[in-house]
């Protein structure tokens, strides 16, 4: 699990370089992605399904991205965009098309539904993350200065 989180951090770091994130912000962006992947794994181990785990991880990712953005005075996008990639259902797209081609309709429907659920959960995670008013974040910063 530790190796997985480290790999996720490196993956997010390299993708933030692909999106030309300013060099001094790459570390924070990568850290954010690593934390999100850790929380995904953690929730999965507690027995949550992929959709619920994605929801929790995305929510945490978005909130942390907003905190970092406040702290560093940069747009939220920088910390959010690369970090979302481990959660995006790339494997869902692959297996859905694979089962479709193999005419394994039962698995195709199951995997396709799961992919849509995960995409929806990511959407909800981002929306909830942004729905929290800025005041709470400012309050959190004042209470726990870092």
Contact 97, 107 (CB under 8 A): no
Nearest partner of 33 among 73, 72, 68, judged by Cα:
68
User: What are the residues whose beta carbons fall under 8 Å from the beta carbon of 127, sequence distance 6 or more?
Assistant: none
Query: Pick from 48, 93, 132, 140: which binds another protein (CB under 8 A)?
Result: 93
**Contact region for another protein (CB under 8 A) — 20-28, 47-55, 132-140?**
20-28
Asked if 136 interacts with another protein (CB under 8 A), we say no
Burial 19-41 (b: 16+ CB within 10 A, else e): eebeeebbebbbbbbbbbbbbbb
- For another protein, which residue of 46, 94, 134, 139 counts as binding (CB under 8 A)? 94
Residue from the set 127, 134, 136, 139 that interacts with another protein by CB under 8 A: 127
Site residues for another protein per CB under 8 A:
3-4, 7-8, 10-11, 14-22, 25, 37, 73-75, 77-78, 80-81, 84-86, 88, 90-91, 93-98, 100-102, 119, 122-123, 126-127, 130
């Amino acid at each position: 699990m530790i190796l997985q989180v480290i790999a996720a951090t490196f993956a997010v770091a390299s993708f933030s370089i692909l999106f030309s994130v300013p060099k001094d912000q790459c570390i924070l962006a990568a850290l954010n992605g690593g934390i999100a992947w850790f929380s995904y794994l953690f929730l999965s181990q507690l027995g949550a399904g992929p959709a619920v785990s994605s929801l929790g991880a995305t929510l945490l990712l978005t909130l942390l991205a907003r905190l970092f953005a406040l702290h560093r005075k940069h747009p939220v996008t920088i910390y959010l965009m690369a970090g979302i990639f481990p959660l995006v259902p790339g494997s869902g797209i692959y297996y859905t098309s694979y089962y479709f081609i193999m005419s394994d309709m039962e698995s195709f429907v199951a995997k396709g539904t799961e992919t849509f659920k995960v995409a929806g959960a990511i959407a909800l995670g981002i929306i909830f993350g942004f729905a929290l008013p800025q005041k709470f974040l400012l309050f959190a910063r004042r209470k726990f200065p870092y």
